[in-house]
Amino acid sequence: MLRYHFGGWNKAVEAAGLEPNPPNLPVSGYKRISDEELLKEIGILWKKFGRRPTHDLMNSKGNYSTRPYIKRWGTFSSAVNFYVQQFGEPQQFDNNAILQNPVKVETRSAVVIPETFKPSTKTTMNKPVFYGEPIDFRGLRYAPVNEQGVVYLFGMVSRELGFLIESIRTDYPDCEGKRCLDSSGAKWQHVRIEFEYKSSNFAEHVHDPGGCDLIVCWIHDWKDCPLEVLELGSAISLLPKK
């Protein structure tokens, strides 16, 4: 019966707010799990998964069940709220968390056709033009084939991915701005960005990793990259195409 309801003796002990003993120790030696240990587990899960722990997440991935939290704080949600009051939300940037909760951007339905200046003589294009794979992402018909394409695409989606751009230049690093640390938009962090078509191009260009925080590329192919990488080829798959 105990195994049916709790999955085993140790789980039942945890549900009572006690800490299981190692194997072969007497039952009388069980000790109460401290509030500090329970709160510490909330912080560990929050940082590991990049989001506020839920009842299901604690029961499936945590070292304790939610039962001792409910006994101490009434509900598991109240325990998480108490953690935030004591320690604040963990400040850890997580690409996946931002991508799952992109910042909403206002769009305009009307298309403005600007006037352009035409050359007085007709020019001929001699160099062949190469295209990436068709992606039909908003106004971009084909995938980037160079660094300039990556810069253009990043400009299209940077706000939705939690970035506010302050400068773009030809000197290294290419870009500086702020990035959002949580989906609510309450916390931001300064970031230095280098654009590359492939992440391995960073090493080929002999850039100093100490002068950059993030590589933004179309393809991430650098296994032992010492910097954080945002692969746009994967990121845009989580955003609306239109």
**pLDDT tens digits along 111-153:** 777 888 877 776 666 778 889 999 999 999 999 999 999 999 9
Asked whether residue 76 falls in the same domain as residue 11, the answer is: yes
Between CA 101 and CA 90, with CA 106 as vertex, the angle to 5 degrees is 25
Question: To 5 degrees, how large is the angle CA 34–CA 36–CA 41?
Answer: 105
151 and 232 co-located in one domain? yes
The answer to pTM > 0.85 is no
Mark whether 211 and 183 lie in a shared domain: yes
Whether 25 and 52 map to the same domain: the answer is yes
Q: Is 231 helix (H, G, I), strand (E, B) or coil?
A: strand
185, 201: one domain: yes
Do residues 71 and 161 share a domain?
no
Q: Which domain holds residue 190?
A: 95-238
Structural domains counted in the chain: 2
| Mean pLDDT taken over the chain | 83
| Helix (H) / strand (E) containing 192 | strand 188-198
Shared domain for 174 and 127, answered yes or no, is yes
Q: Do 10 and 105 belong to one domain? A: no
